[in-house]
């Protein structure tokens, strides 16, 4: 039996939902799990630096990479909101 076509010419109702969901559930936590958590654990394992110069060097190596990945995570989560909203608006 032939399959009936959808009477609505719009894209599938949930077109924006998968993109929004991937942003919220995949692109947000992934940088955290892959980069931020290991950086946090490495910093946590570091024995207390004996002097301020060593502490400054440790922080200088840690902060830029952690901050960059945290911005990626925040941007992915932020972009997922309008994508998910667009998908919800397309629902019949």
pLDDT in tens, 21-45: 665 666 667 777 888 888 888 878 7
Burial class from Cβ neighbours inside 10 Å (0-12, 13-18, 19+) for residue 30 reads middle
Q: Does the model's pTM come out above 0.85? A: no
Give the Cα separation of 71 and 28 in Å (integer): 10
pLDDT tens for 38-66 read 888 887 877 666 678 887 888 888 899 88
Give the Cα separation of 86 and 92 in Å (integer): 12
Question: Domains of the chain: which residue ranges?
Answer: 16-90
């Amino acid at each position: 039996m032939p399959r009936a076509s959808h009477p609505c010419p719009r894209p599938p109702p949930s077109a924006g939902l998968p993109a929004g969901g991937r942003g919220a559930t995949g692109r947000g936590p992934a940088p955290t799990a892959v980069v931020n958590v290991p950086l946090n654990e490495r910093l946590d394992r570091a024995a207390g630096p004996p002097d301020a110069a060593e502490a400054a060097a440790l922080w200088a190596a840690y902060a830029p990479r952690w901050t960059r990945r945290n911005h990626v995570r925040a941007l992915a989560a932020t972009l997922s909101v309008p994508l998910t909203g667009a998908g919800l608006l397309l629902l019949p």
